[in-house]
């Protein structure tokens, strides 16, 4: 029996076979399973009946989404969706939130986004979502196979609720210094850019380059080189990686890193967990090679919660190479390097982490934070403002 043609729906027996196969792949290859506090035995049966009953391809996609959602891992995704599928995080959201001290708190709002325009700010407390008290909504959306309390499961549920789906408005209430505010936002659509890289002078001698969510675009390396040529006489270059939520490719990132180093060096540590393996003994370094001409200007790298995946790798890499000052907030915290798994009968692609990634000093990439922390609350762009202060020193 071969895979179903794209867009077709396999019969119930094949849908169940796909579900069982996926659970087997998670058990064998998901690199972060021990930390997820999941009852894998329960997961093997939880959505099996739903898989058999899904009578449309869209319904079956939702079963697979729910299954992957049990991992409460923003780096575990499907390669397809429906209009009512949940938005991908961080790409499909303008809000970053966590449960803190019994409250659902907005940590960061994406600058220039609909949420920012509506007046939602870092530090706001979300009191209800869709008419349901916020923590009760989080409890209802929490993974169903947890076998121990897991704060990350609550944070995942909260962010997923605030991101919503591709086809529905997001309705919630926040409490902030100005009082209580009802918020009604359309689904978030990431901003489009006309070029993979933007660049400009901020002040005499201080240049600015921003990667426009293009670390998967083969044109980005040439555009980055053009930006460096434009800023050739800068004494300080500010590299803004706050618009890299969709991640990218080492074939794009490593040539960019190579412009800032004079010799080969490790920029990220990789560990493929398996029977009998241990970290750091069985880990290895990702090596980047120099690619001239060498840029000797002082370098500053900006990050926030929309610095994702390969953007996170570049940030920790430039820090590990002792080549940049890192400034901003915690990043997206996307765990590991992903592998692609194609369900045998439906042909649905699923991606989840199969390798653990670390700073070369051994800090898990998803937990690493920039050396110069900035509170994102406040007017204007506090992260860029802090970089300009540092650039003057």
Burial of 150 (C-beta count, 10 Å sphere; 0-12/13-18/19+): middle
For the four alpha carbons of 108, 112, 113 and 118, in that order, the dihedral sign comes to: positive
Same domain, residue pair 163 and 230: no
Share of the chain above pLDDT 70, in %: 98
Does residue 207 belong to any structural domain of this protein? Answer: yes
Please give, one letter per residue, the 3-state secondary structure of 179-234.
EEEEEEECCCCCCCCCCCEEEEEEECCEEEEEECCCECCCCHHHHHHHHHHHCCCC
Same domain, residue pair 159 and 274: no
Confidence of residue 191 (pLDDT cuts 50, 70, 90): confident
What pLDDT, on a 0 to 100 scale, did the predictor assign at position 2?
Answer: 44
CB atoms within 10 A of CB 342: 14
pLDDT tens track for 229-265:
999 999 999 999 999 999 999 999 999 999 999 999 9
Calculated CA dihedral for residues 330, 335, 336, 342, nearest 10 degrees: -140
Which residues 6+ apart lie within 8 Å of 111 measured at CB? Answer: 381
Does residue 80 belong to any structural domain of this protein? Answer: no
Does residue 24 belong to any structural domain of this protein? Answer: no
What pLDDT, on a 0 to 100 scale, did the predictor assign at position 326?
Answer: 98
Does residue 142 belong to any structural domain of this protein? Answer: yes
As a whole number, mean pLDDT of residues 7-24 equals 93
Same domain, residue pair 139 and 243: no
pLDDT tens track for 129-144:
999 999 999 999 999 9
Same domain, residue pair 238 and 299: yes
As a whole number, mean pLDDT of residues 29-43 equals 95
Instruction: Tell how strand 206-211 and strand 236-240 pair up.
Output: parallel
Same domain, residue pair 118 and 232: no
As a whole number, mean pLDDT of residues 307-317 equals 98
The Cα–Cα gap between 358 and 135 comes to 32
Of 143, 164, 185, the one marking the end of a domain is 185
Integer angstrom CA distances of residue 301 from 73, 227, 243, 312: 26, 15, 12, 11
What pLDDT, on a 0 to 100 scale, did the predictor assign at position 7?
Answer: 63
Of 126, 155, 185, the one marking the end of a domain is 185
Note the Cα 3 to chain centre separation in Å.
Answer: 30
Residue 1: pLDDT over 50: no
Same domain, residue pair 269 and 212: yes
Of 69, 92, 246, nearest in space to 61 by CA: 69
Q: What's the CATH number where 124 sits?
A: 2.30.42.10
What pLDDT, on a 0 to 100 scale, did the predictor assign at position 3?
Answer: 47
Does residue 382 belong to any structural domain of this protein? Answer: yes
Integer angstrom CA distances of residue 29 from 243, 245, 340, 351: 30, 24, 11, 11
Burial of 216 (C-beta count, 10 Å sphere; 0-12/13-18/19+): middle
The Cα–Cα gap between 173 and 334 comes to 28
Instruction: Return the bridge partners of 242, or none.
Output: none
The Cα–Cα gap between 209 and 241 comes to 9
> Could you give the number of structural domains in the chain?
2
DSSP state for residue 36 in the 8-state scheme: G
Same domain, residue pair 155 and 228: no
Mean pLDDT of the chain: 95
Phi and psi at residue 267, in whole multiples of 5°? -120, -10
Q: Which domain holds residue 258?
A: 197-335+355-391
Q: What is the DSSP string of 78-113?
A: ES---TTSBPPTTTT-SEEEEEETTEEEEEEE-TTS
Does residue 76 belong to any structural domain of this protein? Answer: no
pLDDT tens track for 96-137:
999 999 999 999 999 999 999 999 999 999 999 999 999 999
Confidence of residue 157 (pLDDT cuts 50, 70, 90): very high
Same domain, residue pair 151 and 255: no
Q: What's the CATH number where 216 sits?
A: 3.90.226.10
Does residue 221 belong to any structural domain of this protein? Answer: yes
Q: Which residue's entry shows tokens 């750091």?
A: 280
Does residue 84 belong to any structural domain of this protein? Answer: no
Of 139, 157, 185, the one marking the end of a domain is 185
What pLDDT, on a 0 to 100 scale, did the predictor assign at position 11?
Answer: 94
Same domain, residue pair 180 and 210: no
Burial of 278 (C-beta count, 10 Å sphere; 0-12/13-18/19+): exposed
Tokens of 340: 């692609």
Same domain, residue pair 149 and 232: no
Same domain, residue pair 266 and 306: yes
Burial of 187 (C-beta count, 10 Å sphere; 0-12/13-18/19+): middle
Packed helices 151-163 and 134-141: angle between N→C axes, nearest 10 degrees: 110
As a whole number, mean pLDDT of residues 308-318 equals 98
Same domain, residue pair 178 and 211: no
Of 130, 96, 91, nearest in space to 243 by CA: 91
Share of the chain above pLDDT 90, in %: 93
């Amino acid at each position: 029996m071969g895979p179903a043609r794209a867009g077709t729906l396999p019969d119930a027996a094949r849908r169940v076979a796909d579900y069982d196969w996926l659970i087997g792949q998670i058990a064998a290859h998901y690199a972060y399973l021990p930390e997820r506090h999941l009852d894998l035995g329960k997961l093997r049966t939880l959505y099996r009946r739903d898989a058999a009953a899904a009578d449309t391809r869209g319904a079956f996609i939702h079963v697979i989404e729910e299954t992957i959602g049990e991992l409460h891992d923003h780096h575990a995704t499907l390669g397809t969706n429906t209009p009512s599928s949940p938005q991908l995080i961080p790409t499909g959201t303008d809000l970053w939130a966590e449960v803190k001290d019994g409250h659902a708190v907005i940590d960061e709002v994406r600058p220039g986004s609909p949420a920012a325009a509506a007046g939602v700010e870092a530090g706001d407390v979300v009191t209800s979502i869709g008419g349901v008290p916020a923590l009760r909504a989080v409890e209802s959306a929490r993974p169903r196979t947890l076998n121990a309390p897991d704060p990350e499961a609550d944070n995942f549920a909260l962010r997923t609720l605030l991101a919503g789906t591709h086809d529905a408005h997001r309705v919630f209430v926040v409490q902030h210094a100005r009082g209580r505010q009802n918020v009604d936002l359309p689904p978030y659509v990431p901003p489009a850019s006309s070029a993979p890289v933007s660049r400009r002078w901020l002040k005499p001698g201080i240049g600015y380059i921003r990667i426009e969510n293009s670390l998967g675009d083969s044109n980005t390396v040439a555009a980055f080189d053009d930006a460096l040529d434009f800023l050739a006489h800068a004494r300080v270059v500010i590299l803004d990686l706050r618009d890299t939520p969709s991640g990218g490719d080492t074939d794009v990132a490593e040539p960019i890193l190579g412009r800032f180093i004079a010799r080969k060096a490790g920029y990220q540590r990789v560990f493929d967990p398996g029977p009998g393996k241990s970290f750091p003994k069985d880990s290895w370094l990702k090596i980047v090679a120099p690619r001239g001409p060498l840029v000797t200007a002082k370098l500053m790298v900006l990050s926030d919660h929309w610095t994702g995946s390969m953007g996170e790798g570049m940030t920790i890499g430039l820090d590990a190479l002792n080549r940049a000052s890192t400034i901003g907030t915690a990043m997206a915290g996307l765990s590991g390097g992903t592998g692609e798994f194609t369900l045998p009968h439906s042909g649905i692609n699923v991606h989840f982490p199969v390798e653990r990634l670390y700073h070369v000093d051994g800090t898990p990439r998803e937990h690493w934070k920039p050396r110069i922390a900035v509170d994102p609350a406040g007017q204007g762009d506090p992260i860029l403002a802090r970089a300009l202060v540092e650039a003057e020193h």
